[in-house]
Amino acid sequence: NVTAGKYNDGSKPMRAELARRLADGMQSAWENTKRTPITSADLEWRTVAVALPPSPALDEQALLRIVDDSAAKPVDRVRAARNLVWLHRAQRGDKIDLTCLKLGPGYLVHMPGELFIEYQLAAANMQPDAPVCMAAYGDYGSGYIGVEIAYSQGGYETGPVSRVAPEVEKVLMDGMQELLK
Position 57, amino acid:
A
Q: pLDDT tens string for the chain (181 positions)? A: 555 556 667 778 887 888 888 899 999 999 999 888 999 999 999 999 999 999 999 999 999 999 999 999 999 999 999 999 999 999 999 999 999 999 999 999 999 999 999 999 999 999 999 999 999 988 889 999 999 999 999 888 999 899 999 999 999 999 999 999 9
DSSP string, 124-137: HHHSTTS-EEEE--
DSSP string, 7-46: G--S-HHHHHHHHHHHHHHHHHHHHTPPP----GGGEEEE
Q: How far apart are CA 106 and CA 162, in angstroms?
A: 30
Cα-trace Rg, the chain: 19
32-37: long-range contacts (C-beta < 8 A, 24 or more apart)?
36/104, 36/105, 36/106, 37/104
Task: Please tell me whether residue 96 adopts helix, strand or coil conformation.
Answer: strand
State pLDDT tens for residues 126-171: 999 999 999 998 888 999 999 999 999 988 899 989 999 999 999 9
Candidates 112, 115, 131, 103; CA nearest to 34 is 131
